[in-house]
Amino acid sequence: MIKIRVDIIGGSLSGISAGISLKKNDKSIEVIIHEKHKKIGYNHEGRRCGEAHSVESKWISDIPKGKSIFNNITRFELIIGGRKRIIHREINKTFVLNRQEYIYQLGKQAEKLGVIFLTNDKIKTINELNGDFIIDASGCPSLVKRELGLNRGIKGTTYQHTLENSNYFISDTLKVIYSDFGGYFWIFPRNSLKNEINLGVGSFTNFNYNLKEMLEKFKEEQQIEGKINYITGGLIPIGIQRPLRYQNILFIGDAGVGTYPISGQGIYRALISGNIAGKFLAMKNPKKYAHMINKIFIRWDLLCKTFLLPNFLFRKINPKLIIALLNRYFDFLNFAHI
Ligand SMILES: Cc1cc2nc3c(=O)[nH]c(=O)nc-3n(C[C@H](O)[C@H](O)[C@H](O)COP(=O)(O)OP(=O)(O)OC[C@H]3O[C@@H](n4cnc5c(N)ncnc54)[C@H](O)[C@@H]3O)c2cc1C
Protein backbone atom coordinates (compact mmCIF):
# COMPACT_ATOMS: atom_id res chain seq x y z
CA MET A 1 0.00 0.00 0.00
CA ILE A 2 1.35 3.47 -0.89
CA LYS A 3 1.92 5.53 2.20
CA ILE A 4 0.67 9.12 2.10
CA ARG A 5 2.78 11.88 3.59
CA VAL A 6 1.42 15.19 4.89
CA ASP A 7 3.69 18.12 5.73
CA ILE A 8 2.24 20.60 8.19
CA ILE A 9 3.82 24.06 8.50
CA GLY A 10 3.39 25.32 12.07
CA GLY A 11 3.30 23.46 15.39
CA SER A 12 0.69 25.54 17.19
CA LEU A 13 -3.05 25.08 17.73
CA SER A 14 -4.26 24.46 14.20
CA GLY A 15 -1.22 22.47 13.01
CA ILE A 16 -1.21 20.05 15.92
CA SER A 17 -4.99 19.68 15.80
CA ALA A 18 -4.63 18.66 12.13
CA GLY A 19 -1.84 16.22 12.97
CA ILE A 20 -3.94 14.54 15.66
CA SER A 21 -6.96 14.34 13.40
CA LEU A 22 -4.96 12.84 10.52
CA LYS A 23 -3.53 10.12 12.74
CA LYS A 24 -6.85 9.40 14.45
CA ASN A 25 -8.51 8.97 11.07
CA ASP A 26 -5.72 6.97 9.41
CA LYS A 27 -2.68 5.98 11.40
CA SER A 28 -0.80 4.83 8.30
CA ILE A 29 -0.41 8.44 7.10
CA GLU A 30 3.04 9.89 7.70
CA VAL A 31 2.52 13.27 9.38
CA ILE A 32 5.38 15.72 9.82
CA ILE A 33 4.94 19.02 11.64
CA HIS A 34 7.58 21.66 10.89
CA GLU A 35 7.88 24.28 13.63
CA LYS A 36 10.31 27.16 13.43
CA HIS A 37 10.67 27.51 17.20
CA LYS A 38 12.69 25.24 19.47
CA LYS A 39 9.78 23.91 21.49
CA ILE A 40 6.17 22.98 21.12
CA GLY A 41 4.23 24.88 23.75
CA TYR A 42 6.59 26.39 26.24
CA ASN A 43 8.78 28.50 24.05
CA HIS A 44 9.67 32.07 24.77
CA GLU A 45 9.46 33.30 21.21
CA GLY A 46 6.08 31.66 20.58
CA ARG A 47 3.13 34.02 20.59
CA ARG A 48 0.61 34.15 23.37
CA CYS A 49 -2.76 35.82 22.88
CA GLY A 50 -5.84 36.84 24.89
CA GLU A 51 -6.19 33.10 25.56
CA ALA A 52 -9.97 33.17 25.87
CA HIS A 53 -11.41 30.02 24.36
CA SER A 54 -15.10 29.22 23.88
CA VAL A 55 -16.04 25.63 23.20
CA GLU A 56 -19.06 25.89 20.98
CA SER A 57 -19.88 22.59 19.40
CA LYS A 58 -19.55 18.87 19.17
CA TRP A 59 -16.42 19.25 17.04
CA ILE A 60 -14.14 19.64 20.04
CA SER A 61 -14.11 16.37 21.86
CA ASP A 62 -11.13 17.26 24.01
CA ILE A 63 -12.04 20.31 26.02
CA PRO A 64 -9.03 21.69 27.87
CA LYS A 65 -8.29 20.20 31.24
CA GLY A 66 -5.98 20.36 34.24
CA LYS A 67 -3.09 22.79 34.08
CA SER A 68 -4.12 24.01 30.63
CA ILE A 69 -7.01 26.00 32.13
CA PHE A 70 -6.27 29.19 33.98
CA ASN A 71 -9.88 30.20 34.54
CA ASN A 72 -13.41 29.07 33.86
CA ILE A 73 -15.40 32.04 32.59
CA THR A 74 -19.07 32.35 33.43
CA ARG A 75 -19.60 36.09 33.16
CA PHE A 76 -19.11 38.49 30.22
CA GLU A 77 -19.23 42.21 30.62
CA LEU A 78 -19.80 43.94 27.30
CA ILE A 79 -19.72 47.70 27.22
CA ILE A 80 -20.79 49.42 24.03
CA GLY A 81 -20.88 53.19 24.07
CA GLY A 82 -21.49 53.22 27.83
CA ARG A 83 -24.27 50.62 27.66
CA LYS A 84 -23.33 47.61 29.73
CA ARG A 85 -24.54 44.07 29.20
CA ILE A 86 -23.81 41.22 31.56
CA ILE A 87 -24.06 37.83 29.94
CA HIS A 88 -23.86 34.64 31.97
CA ARG A 89 -22.59 31.43 30.48
CA GLU A 90 -22.62 27.82 31.55
CA ILE A 91 -19.60 26.47 33.34
CA ASN A 92 -17.13 24.50 31.16
CA LYS A 93 -17.93 26.37 27.97
CA THR A 94 -15.49 29.27 28.09
CA PHE A 95 -11.98 29.19 29.44
CA VAL A 96 -8.93 31.30 29.70
CA LEU A 97 -6.28 28.87 28.58
CA ASN A 98 -2.76 28.47 29.71
CA ARG A 99 -2.00 28.50 26.03
CA GLN A 100 1.56 27.26 26.31
CA GLU A 101 0.55 24.28 28.48
CA TYR A 102 -2.40 23.53 26.21
CA ILE A 103 -0.21 23.46 23.11
CA TYR A 104 2.36 21.36 24.98
CA GLN A 105 -0.36 18.84 25.93
CA LEU A 106 -1.71 18.74 22.36
CA GLY A 107 1.86 18.14 21.16
CA LYS A 108 2.31 15.19 23.54
CA GLN A 109 -0.99 13.73 22.41
CA ALA A 110 0.09 14.06 18.76
CA GLU A 111 3.47 12.49 19.45
CA LYS A 112 1.79 9.49 21.08
CA LEU A 113 -0.27 9.01 17.93
CA GLY A 114 2.91 8.97 15.86
CA VAL A 115 3.08 12.54 14.53
CA ILE A 116 6.70 13.55 13.86
CA PHE A 117 7.78 17.01 15.04
CA LEU A 118 10.71 18.78 13.42
CA THR A 119 11.44 21.80 15.61
CA ASN A 120 13.90 24.59 14.84
CA ASP A 121 12.75 23.95 11.29
CA LYS A 122 11.75 27.18 9.62
CA ILE A 123 10.22 26.51 6.21
CA LYS A 124 11.28 29.17 3.75
CA THR A 125 9.43 27.97 0.67
CA ILE A 126 6.92 25.23 -0.11
CA ASN A 127 9.43 23.81 -2.57
CA GLU A 128 11.27 22.40 0.45
CA LEU A 129 8.34 20.08 1.13
CA ASN A 130 7.65 16.91 -0.80
CA GLY A 131 4.57 15.55 0.98
CA ASP A 132 1.53 14.45 -1.03
CA PHE A 133 -0.39 17.17 0.79
CA ILE A 134 0.68 20.31 2.59
CA ILE A 135 -1.24 21.91 5.43
CA ASP A 136 -0.42 25.54 5.98
CA ALA A 137 -0.88 26.27 9.70
CA SER A 138 1.72 29.04 9.79
CA GLY A 139 -0.62 31.70 11.22
CA CYS A 140 -1.14 35.23 9.99
CA PRO A 141 0.24 36.29 7.57
CA SER A 142 0.46 32.83 6.06
CA LEU A 143 3.86 31.84 4.74
CA VAL A 144 2.43 29.97 1.75
CA LYS A 145 -0.12 32.62 0.81
CA ARG A 146 2.61 35.24 0.75
CA GLU A 147 4.74 33.02 -1.48
CA LEU A 148 1.85 32.30 -3.86
CA GLY A 149 0.46 35.86 -3.85
CA LEU A 150 -2.83 34.66 -2.30
CA ASN A 151 -2.79 36.80 0.83
CA ARG A 152 -6.07 38.63 0.24
CA GLY A 153 -8.24 38.27 3.35
CA ILE A 154 -9.26 41.20 5.58
CA LYS A 155 -6.85 41.79 8.45
CA GLY A 156 -6.96 43.84 11.64
CA THR A 157 -4.26 44.77 14.15
CA THR A 158 -3.85 44.03 17.85
CA TYR A 159 -1.65 45.01 20.76
CA GLN A 160 -1.66 43.37 24.19
CA HIS A 161 0.01 43.56 27.60
CA THR A 162 0.06 40.87 30.25
CA LEU A 163 0.06 42.56 33.65
CA GLU A 164 0.78 40.86 36.95
CA ASN A 165 -0.45 41.99 40.38
CA SER A 166 -3.27 43.79 38.66
CA ASN A 167 -6.13 45.48 40.47
CA TYR A 168 -8.37 44.32 37.59
CA PHE A 169 -8.07 40.56 38.09
CA ILE A 170 -11.53 38.91 38.30
CA SER A 171 -11.20 35.17 37.78
CA ASP A 172 -14.62 34.47 36.21
CA THR A 173 -15.16 37.59 34.09
CA LEU A 174 -14.18 38.68 30.59
CA LYS A 175 -14.63 42.36 29.91
CA VAL A 176 -14.86 43.81 26.41
CA ILE A 177 -15.31 47.50 25.74
CA TYR A 178 -16.31 48.52 22.21
CA SER A 179 -15.47 52.01 21.23
CA ASP A 180 -16.21 54.23 18.25
CA PHE A 181 -12.65 53.96 16.87
CA GLY A 182 -13.71 50.77 15.09
CA GLY A 183 -12.44 48.16 17.54
CA TYR A 184 -12.39 47.14 21.17
CA PHE A 185 -10.40 46.77 24.37
CA TRP A 186 -10.35 43.55 26.36
CA ILE A 187 -9.52 42.66 29.95
CA PHE A 188 -9.22 38.91 30.55
CA PRO A 189 -8.11 37.20 33.76
CA ARG A 190 -4.96 35.09 33.50
CA ASN A 191 -2.88 33.29 36.13
CA SER A 192 -4.66 33.73 39.48
CA LEU A 193 -1.47 32.96 41.42
CA LYS A 194 -0.05 36.21 40.05
CA ASN A 195 -3.32 38.19 39.79
CA GLU A 196 -2.46 38.42 36.13
CA ILE A 197 -4.56 39.87 33.31
CA ASN A 198 -4.36 40.08 29.54
CA LEU A 199 -5.22 43.60 28.50
CA GLY A 200 -5.40 44.48 24.85
CA VAL A 201 -6.78 46.49 22.00
CA GLY A 202 -7.80 45.44 18.50
CA SER A 203 -8.73 47.53 15.51
CA PHE A 204 -10.61 46.02 12.57
CA THR A 205 -10.62 48.99 10.30
CA ASN A 206 -7.53 51.10 10.50
CA PHE A 207 -3.83 50.25 10.48
CA ASN A 208 -2.75 53.79 11.27
CA TYR A 209 -3.77 53.89 14.91
CA ASN A 210 -1.03 53.89 17.48
CA LEU A 211 -2.41 50.96 19.48
CA LYS A 212 0.34 51.20 22.08
CA GLU A 213 -0.66 54.77 22.92
CA MET A 214 -4.34 53.87 22.87
CA LEU A 215 -3.78 51.07 25.37
CA GLU A 216 -1.78 53.31 27.69
CA LYS A 217 -4.54 55.92 27.60
CA PHE A 218 -7.16 53.26 28.26
CA LYS A 219 -5.17 52.01 31.27
CA GLU A 220 -5.04 55.50 32.66
CA GLU A 221 -8.74 56.18 32.12
CA GLN A 222 -9.79 52.87 33.68
CA GLN A 223 -7.12 53.12 36.41
CA ILE A 224 -5.77 49.69 35.54
CA GLU A 225 -2.56 48.87 37.37
CA GLY A 226 -0.05 46.05 37.24
CA LYS A 227 3.46 45.19 36.14
CA ILE A 228 3.89 44.41 32.44
CA ASN A 229 5.56 41.03 32.04
CA TYR A 230 4.75 40.22 28.41
CA ILE A 231 3.87 42.20 25.30
CA THR A 232 2.46 40.81 22.10
CA GLY A 233 0.32 41.84 19.16
CA GLY A 234 0.25 41.81 15.41
CA LEU A 235 -2.05 41.02 12.56
CA ILE A 236 -5.35 39.31 13.11
CA PRO A 237 -7.21 37.72 10.20
CA ILE A 238 -10.83 38.82 10.14
CA GLY A 239 -13.21 36.14 8.91
CA ILE A 240 -12.43 33.38 6.43
CA GLN A 241 -9.20 33.98 4.55
CA ARG A 242 -9.93 32.59 1.11
CA PRO A 243 -8.77 30.45 -0.59
CA LEU A 244 -9.10 27.59 1.87
CA ARG A 245 -7.44 25.23 -0.59
CA TYR A 246 -4.97 25.64 -3.43
CA GLN A 247 -4.06 22.47 -5.37
CA ASN A 248 -2.73 20.03 -2.74
CA ILE A 249 -2.44 22.70 -0.02
CA LEU A 250 -5.04 23.28 2.70
CA PHE A 251 -5.05 26.49 4.76
CA ILE A 252 -6.13 26.16 8.37
CA GLY A 253 -6.25 28.30 11.51
CA ASP A 254 -5.26 31.93 11.02
CA ALA A 255 -3.98 31.04 7.54
CA GLY A 256 -7.43 29.80 6.48
CA VAL A 257 -10.53 30.20 8.65
CA GLY A 258 -9.18 33.31 10.39
CA THR A 259 -10.85 34.69 13.50
CA TYR A 260 -14.27 36.05 14.32
CA PRO A 261 -13.51 39.37 16.01
CA ILE A 262 -16.97 39.93 17.48
CA SER A 263 -16.57 36.88 19.72
CA GLY A 264 -12.76 36.94 19.63
CA GLN A 265 -12.69 33.34 18.46
CA GLY A 266 -9.43 32.36 16.85
CA ILE A 267 -8.38 29.42 19.01
CA TYR A 268 -11.66 27.61 18.48
CA ARG A 269 -11.55 28.13 14.73
CA ALA A 270 -7.92 27.00 14.62
CA LEU A 271 -8.73 23.76 16.45
CA ILE A 272 -11.85 23.00 14.43
CA SER A 273 -10.27 23.72 11.06
CA GLY A 274 -7.32 21.47 11.93
CA ASN A 275 -9.69 18.73 12.94
CA ILE A 276 -11.72 18.99 9.72
CA ALA A 277 -8.68 19.28 7.45
CA GLY A 278 -7.19 16.12 9.00
CA LYS A 279 -10.41 14.23 8.61
CA PHE A 280 -10.91 15.02 4.93
CA LEU A 281 -7.28 14.55 3.96
CA ALA A 282 -7.37 11.13 5.61
CA MET A 283 -10.37 10.43 3.37
CA LYS A 284 -8.29 11.75 0.43
CA ASN A 285 -10.99 14.31 -0.22
CA PRO A 286 -9.34 17.72 0.26
CA LYS A 287 -12.10 19.56 -1.65
CA LYS A 288 -14.58 18.66 1.08
CA TYR A 289 -12.51 20.67 3.59
CA ALA A 290 -13.43 24.04 2.05
CA HIS A 291 -17.01 22.93 1.63
CA MET A 292 -17.35 22.01 5.31
CA ILE A 293 -15.62 25.18 6.57
CA ASN A 294 -17.95 27.32 4.49
CA LYS A 295 -20.93 25.41 5.81
CA ILE A 296 -19.94 25.93 9.44
CA PHE A 297 -18.66 29.47 9.32
CA ILE A 298 -20.44 31.27 6.48
CA ARG A 299 -23.17 32.64 8.78
CA TRP A 300 -20.63 34.21 11.15
CA ASP A 301 -18.59 35.41 8.22
CA LEU A 302 -21.52 37.23 6.69
CA LEU A 303 -22.39 38.79 10.05
CA CYS A 304 -18.79 39.85 10.44
CA LYS A 305 -18.73 41.47 7.02
CA THR A 306 -22.07 43.21 7.50
CA PHE A 307 -20.61 44.67 10.68
CA LEU A 308 -17.39 45.76 8.99
CA LEU A 309 -19.06 47.46 6.06
CA PRO A 310 -20.99 50.14 8.02
CA ASN A 311 -17.94 50.48 10.21
CA PHE A 312 -15.90 51.46 7.16
CA LEU A 313 -18.66 53.65 5.77
CA PHE A 314 -20.01 55.50 8.79
CA ARG A 315 -17.20 55.77 11.30
CA LYS A 316 -15.74 58.90 9.75
CA ILE A 317 -19.15 60.54 9.25
CA ASN A 318 -20.53 59.87 12.71
CA PRO A 319 -18.80 57.47 15.11
CA LYS A 320 -21.90 57.43 17.35
CA LEU A 321 -23.78 55.76 14.54
CA ILE A 322 -21.36 52.85 14.74
CA ILE A 323 -22.01 52.49 18.45
CA ALA A 324 -25.75 52.52 17.81
CA LEU A 325 -25.35 49.88 15.10
CA LEU A 326 -23.13 47.80 17.37
CA ASN A 327 -25.73 47.89 20.10
CA ARG A 328 -28.32 46.64 17.61
CA TYR A 329 -25.90 44.00 16.41
CA PHE A 330 -25.29 42.75 19.94
CA ASP A 331 -28.99 42.72 20.74
CA PHE A 332 -29.20 40.26 17.89
CA LEU A 333 -26.07 38.33 18.84
CA ASN A 334 -27.07 37.99 22.48
CA PHE A 335 -30.08 36.20 21.27
CA ALA A 336 -28.45 34.21 18.51
CA HIS A 337 -24.93 33.47 19.54
CA ILE A 338 -23.39 34.22 22.92
C1 LIG B 1 -2.98 39.91 20.58
C2 LIG B 1 -3.86 38.75 20.18
C3 LIG B 1 -4.84 38.33 21.06
C4 LIG B 1 -5.66 37.26 20.69
N5 LIG B 1 -6.59 36.83 21.59
C6 LIG B 1 -7.35 35.75 21.30
C7 LIG B 1 -8.27 35.24 22.25
O8 LIG B 1 -8.39 35.73 23.37
N9 LIG B 1 -9.02 34.16 21.92
C10 LIG B 1 -8.89 33.56 20.71
O11 LIG B 1 -9.60 32.58 20.46
N12 LIG B 1 -8.01 34.00 19.79
C13 LIG B 1 -7.23 35.07 20.06
N14 LIG B 1 -6.31 35.51 19.15
C15 LIG B 1 -6.19 34.77 17.88
C16 LIG B 1 -5.42 33.45 18.11
O17 LIG B 1 -4.19 33.71 18.73
C18 LIG B 1 -5.17 32.76 16.75
O19 LIG B 1 -6.38 32.68 16.05
C20 LIG B 1 -4.58 31.36 16.91
O21 LIG B 1 -3.35 31.41 17.59
C22 LIG B 1 -4.36 30.73 15.54
O23 LIG B 1 -3.67 29.53 15.68
P24 LIG B 1 -2.79 28.97 14.50
O25 LIG B 1 -2.29 27.64 14.95
O26 LIG B 1 -3.55 29.01 13.22
O27 LIG B 1 -1.60 30.01 14.32
P28 LIG B 1 -0.46 30.45 15.34
O29 LIG B 1 -0.89 30.22 16.73
O30 LIG B 1 -0.06 31.81 14.92
O31 LIG B 1 0.73 29.44 15.04
C32 LIG B 1 1.48 29.45 13.87
C33 LIG B 1 2.67 28.53 14.09
O34 LIG B 1 3.40 28.41 12.88
C35 LIG B 1 4.79 28.57 13.15
N36 LIG B 1 5.41 29.06 11.92
C37 LIG B 1 5.17 30.24 11.30
N38 LIG B 1 5.92 30.35 10.18
C39 LIG B 1 6.63 29.20 10.10
C40 LIG B 1 7.61 28.72 9.17
N41 LIG B 1 7.99 29.46 8.12
N42 LIG B 1 8.16 27.49 9.37
C43 LIG B 1 7.79 26.74 10.46
N44 LIG B 1 6.90 27.17 11.38
C45 LIG B 1 6.32 28.37 11.20
C46 LIG B 1 4.81 29.57 14.31
O47 LIG B 1 6.02 29.53 15.02
C48 LIG B 1 3.63 29.07 15.15
O49 LIG B 1 3.99 28.06 16.05
C50 LIG B 1 -5.49 36.61 19.44
C51 LIG B 1 -4.50 37.04 18.57
C52 LIG B 1 -3.68 38.10 18.93
C53 LIG B 1 -2.61 38.56 17.98
CATH number at residue 131: 3.50.50.60
Domain extent, residue 205, equals: 5-336
Q: 0.85 cut: is pTM over it?
A: yes
**Bridge partner residues of 72 (DSSP):** 95
- Ligand 1 pocket test target in 7, 8, 13, 238 with most atoms within 8 Å of CB: 13
For residue range 153-204, what is the model confidence (pLDDT) as tens digits?
889 999 999 999 999 999 999 999 988 887 899 999 999 999 999 999 998 7
For residue range 277-300, what is the model confidence (pLDDT) as tens digits?
999 999 999 999 999 999 999 888
Q: Given phi > 0 = left and psi -120 to 50 = alpha, else beta, which region is 41?
A: left
Per-residue pLDDT at 2: 66
Per-residue pLDDT at 180: 80
**Domains in the chain: how many in total?**
1
Most confidently modeled range among 40-54, 84-98, 125-139, 312-326: 125-139
Cα–ligand 1 centroid distance for 106 (angstroms): 15
User: Contact, 13 vs 270, CB < 8 A?
Assistant: yes
**Residue 331 pLDDT class (50, 70, 90 cuts):** confident
- A 10 A CB-CB count for 151 gives 17
Cα–ligand 1 centroid distance for 83 (angstroms): 32
For residue 252, the ligand 1 atom closest to its alpha carbon is 26
Based on its alpha-carbon atoms, the radius of gyration of the chain, rounded to whole angstroms, reads 20
**Residue 62 pLDDT class (50, 70, 90 cuts):** low
| Cα–Cα distance, 16 to 160 (Å, whole number) | 25
Across residues 50-56, what is the average pLDDT? 88
| Cα–Cα distance, 208 to 215 (Å, whole number) | 14
Running DSSP on this structure, what letter comes out for residue 141? S
pLDDT beyond 90 at 81: no
User: Contact, 254 vs 213, CB < 8 A?
Assistant: no
pLDDT beyond 50 at 337: no
pLDDT beyond 70 at 327: yes
pLDDT beyond 90 at 220: yes
Per-residue pLDDT at 1: 62
Tell me the average pLDDT of the chain.
90
Among protein residues, the one with the nearest Cα to ligand 1's atom 38 is: 138
**Residue 58 pLDDT class (50, 70, 90 cuts):** low
The answer to whether the CB of 158 is under 6 A from ligand 1 is: yes
For residue range 83-129, what is the model confidence (pLDDT) as tens digits?
899 988 887 789 999 999 999 999 999 999 999 999 999 999 999 99
Tell how strand 173-179 and strand 155-164 pair up.
unpaired
**Residue 59 pLDDT class (50, 70, 90 cuts):** low
User: Contact, 136 vs 144, CB < 8 A?
Assistant: yes
Per-residue pLDDT at 301: 85
Per-residue pLDDT at 44: 73
The answer to whether the CB of 187 is under 6 A from ligand 1 is: no
Per-residue pLDDT at 334: 64
Round to the nearest angstrom and report the end-to-end CA distance of the chain: 47
pLDDT beyond 90 at 209: no
Cα–ligand 1 centroid distance for 258 (angstroms): 10
For residue range 16-45, what is the model confidence (pLDDT) as tens digits?
999 999 999 999 999 999 999 999 998 777
| Cα–Cα distance, 229 to 57 (Å, whole number) | 34
pLDDT beyond 90 at 54: no
